């Protein structure tokens, strides 16, 4: 039984490394297509972290929505709107790189200090469990309005992007 | 050392994701690169919600629902942003934000 625990722990480290490597690749690569691949790898790692957090449902949703839909959409955006000149970007150098890394490190250190000084206590009593049944029940009873609002927002976004892509309200492609 | 059932581990991972997204926002010169970096910011927030949901929340469905909402919002945001980027490219023949920041006249 204890062996499974170590296997799960090793998988956790693997997902963590996958997340950070993908994120690093997405940020530092000079080809935008490589950045999208890095984003997909990193999101797969985060799906594994969701699995470790006890929610296989969210892991599947992460793979479906993010890796399956968002990454493909960004790849389509790159293919529809690039020219050979701006595919390759230059990385920051010298003083600019130092300033970028320094400001990001400052943000991280401040977050870390806050985290180190705060103790999070678990809730006194928990209702329900992590199952999909309970999530669906909450989604359709207590959070029904937010659920409907999300669907309206998605519909608006789809219609808006179609209108924008066709070239304005009159539909004339110039 | 078992670190996978500790709240602080996930919070630190989320903070690192946030910082990487921030760095990518500074680093990338194109609009699509900035869009990719913003996905990391949102995923850091979603991982935070999910970590607190697993370890401290009284109702373990709320965090999952909020993470689902974040995913839906990110999908809508990416759709709008990609179509805006395509329109910008069609009009300016370029994706450099420094050129696009000038208004029409």
Q: Model confidence over A58-96: pLDDT tens digits?
A: 999 999 999 999 999 999 888 887 654 555 566 777 788
Residue A102 lies in a domain: no
Give me the tens of pLDDT residue by residue for chain B, a chain 105 residues long.
778 788 999 999 999 999 999 999 988 888 888 899 999 999 999 999 999 998 988 888 899 999 999 999 999 999 999 988 888 877 776 666 677 776 655
Please give the pLDDT value at position A125. 83
Chain A contacts in chain B segment 14-53 (CB below 8 A): 15-24, 26-30, 32-33, 35-37, 39-40, 43, 46-47, 50-53
SS (HEC) of A93-155: CHHHHHHHHHHHHHHHHHHHHHHHHCCCCCCCCCCCCCCHHHHHHHHHHCCHHHHHHHHHHHH
Here the tokens at position A61 are 């949703």
Residue A53 lies in a domain: yes
**Pick from A9, A65, A162: CB nearest B71:** A65
ipTM of predicted assembly, 2 dp: 0.89
Domains of chain B: 7-100 (1.10.287.3510)
Print burial letters for B46-60: b (CB count within 10 Å at least 16), e (below 16): bbbbbbbbbbebebb
Distance CA B30, CA B80 (A): 16
Which residue of chain B is at minimal alpha-carbon distance from A79?
B86
Q: In which band, very low, low, confident or very high, does the pLDDT at A171 lie, cut at 50, 70 and 90?
A: low
Instruction: Classify A31 as helix, strand or coil.
Output: strand
| pTM of the full structure | 0.88
Judged on CB neighbours under 10 Å (0-12, 13-18, 19+), A144 is: exposed
* Contacting residues of B for A14, CB less than 8 Å apart: none
Residues A82, A150 within the same domain: no
Please give the pLDDT value at position A118. 87
Distance CA B37, CA A78 (A): 15
Tell me the pLDDT tens digit for each residue of A101-138.
Answer: 999 999 999 999 999 998 888 888 888 888 889 999 99
Whether A169 shows a pLDDT value over 70: the answer reads no
Among the candidates A59, A90, A121, a domain finishes at A90
Residue A114 lies in a domain: no
Please give the pLDDT value at position B66. 92
Residue A106 lies in a domain: no
Distance CA B24, CA A103 (A): 12
Please give the pLDDT value at position A113. 94
Contact flag A127-B80 (C-beta cutoff 8 Å): no
* Contacting residues of B for A54, CB less than 8 Å apart: 54
The number of CA neighbours under 13 Å toward the Cβ of A12 is: 19
Please give the pLDDT value at position A152. 94
Structural domain of A145 = 129-174
Residue A120 lies in a domain: no
Residue with tokens 């594994």: A48
High-pLDDT (> 70) share of chain A, %: 89
Average pLDDT rounded to a whole number, residues A17-44: 92
Closest CA to B53 of A129, A174, A76: A129
Residues A65, A140 within the same domain: no
Number of domains in chain A: 2
High-pLDDT (> 90) share of chain A, %: 50
Rg (CA), chain A: 21
Judged on CB neighbours under 10 Å (0-12, 13-18, 19+), A91 is: middle
Question: What is the CATH classification number for the domain harbouring A80?
Answer: 1.20.120.1200
Residues A79, A133 within the same domain: no
Are A50 and A18 in contact by the 8 Å Cβ rule? The answer is no
The number of CA neighbours under 13 Å toward the Cβ of A110 is: 7
Residues A84, A133 within the same domain: no
Please give the pLDDT value at position A19. 95
Q: In which band, very low, low, confident or very high, does the pLDDT at A25 lie, cut at 50, 70 and 90?
A: very high
Please give the pLDDT value at position A156. 93
Please give the pLDDT value at position B104. 58
């Amino acid at each position: 039984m204890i062996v499974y625990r170590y296997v799960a722990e090793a998988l956790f480290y693997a997902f963590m490394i996958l997340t950070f490597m993908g994120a690093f690749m997405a940020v530092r690569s000079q080809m935008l297509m490589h950045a999208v691949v890095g984003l997909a790898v990193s999101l797969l790692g985060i799906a594994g972290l969701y699995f470790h957090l006890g929610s296989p449902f969210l892991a599947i949703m992460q793979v479906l929505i993010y890796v399956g839909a968002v990454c493909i959409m960004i790849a389509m955006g790159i293919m529809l709107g690039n020219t050979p000149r701006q595919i390759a970007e230059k990385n920051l150098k010298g003083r600019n790189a130092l300033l970028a890394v320094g400001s990001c490190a400052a943000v991280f250190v401040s977050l870390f200090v806050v985290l180190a000084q705060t103790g999070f206590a678990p809730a006194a009593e928990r209702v329900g469990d992590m199952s999909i049944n309970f999530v669906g029940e909450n989604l359709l009873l207590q959070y029904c309005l937010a659920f409907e609002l999300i669907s309206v927002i998605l519909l608006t976004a789809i219609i808006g992007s179609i209108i924008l892509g066709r070239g304005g309200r009159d539909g004339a492609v110039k | 050392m078992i670190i996978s059932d500790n709240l602080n581990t996930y919070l630190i991972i989320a903070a690192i994701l946030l910082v990487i997204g921030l760095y990518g926002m500074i680093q990338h010169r194109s609009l699509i690169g900035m869009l990719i970096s913003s996905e990391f910011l949102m995923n850091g927030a979603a991982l935070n919600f999910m970590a607190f949901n697993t370890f401290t929340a009284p109702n373990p469905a709320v965090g999952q629902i909020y993470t689902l909402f974040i995913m839906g919002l990110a999908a809508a945001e990416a759709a709008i942003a990609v179509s805006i980027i395509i329109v910008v490219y069609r009009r300016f023949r370029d994706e450099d934000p420094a050129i696009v920041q000038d208004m029409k006249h």
